[in-house]
């Protein structure tokens, strides 16, 4: 494997990690809104 391929693989892995993190954050936000009445603090944080 040459350097370019390595960089691409690392990039793809990073993107997947970021996507997973974003999804987890979105679900946490959704759960918070479901459990508590959506107040201005949550809207502002979003």
pLDDT in tens, 2-39: 888 989 999 999 999 999 999 999 888 888 777 766 56
pLDDT at 34: 75
pLDDT at 1: 67
Residue with tokens 């809104």: 33
Instruction: Name the pLDDT band for 43 (thresholds 50, 70, 90).
Output: low
Q: CB neighbours (10 Å) of residue 33? A: 14
- Tokens matching residue 41: 């603090």
> Would you say the pTM of this structure is higher than 0.95?
no
Q: What angle do CA 46, 38, 21 make, to 5 degrees?
A: 40
């Amino acid at each position: 494997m040459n350097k370019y391929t390595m960089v691409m693989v690392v990039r793809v892995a990073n993107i997947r990690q970021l996507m997973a993190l974003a999804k987890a954050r979105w679900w946490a936000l959704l759960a918070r809104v479901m459990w508590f009445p959506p107040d201005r603090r949550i809207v502002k944080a979003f």
